[in-house]
Amino acid sequence: MLDEGVRVKAIELAESIKSLGEYQEFLENEKLLKEDKIAQELLLEFQQKQQDFVTKQLSGEYDQDLLGELTDLQSRINARESVVRFIESYNRLLAVIGEIVDLISEKIELDIGEVYRR
């Protein structure tokens, strides 16, 4: 069970992270991505075709045409500004969180991030 003092500090840290510009930017870009109907349709289609491709692969079938469709969809998804902005803001937020984890690791002399780098 988590010590109450540590729990309070963890909540304070979470609240501090939520006030960061990187977090706010991430939330805004997430909202814009969800509002981008074309991007949402492309993402859904990509997920469905990706699932079909994996299912075929697992049964020993290789569908070159389906792979081509996936590649085309991926290009179209990557061309959407809402997707690009979301990914960039997500990566910036992860970098900040990574710095926080590194700082905690340094202070407690235990490499917490090692688990995530494997």
The residue behind tokens 């289609």 is 45
pLDDT at 13: 98
At residue 114, the pLDDT reads 75
Contact 80, 29 (CB under 8 A): no
Domain range summary for the chain, segments of one domain joined by +: 1-36+86-117, 37-79
Q: From the first residue on, what is the mean pLDDT of each consecutive set of 10 residues in the chain (118 residues)?
A: 95 98 98 98 98 95 95 97 98 96 93 72
Instruction: Say what the pLDDT of residue 117 is.
Output: 63
CB 84 within 8 A of CB 78: yes
SS3 of 101, please?
Answer: helix
Question: In this predicted structure, what is the pLDDT of residue 9?
Answer: 97
- Say if residue 61 is exposed, middle or buried (CB neighbours under 10 Å; 0-12, 13-18, 19+): exposed
- Predicted model pTM: 0.83
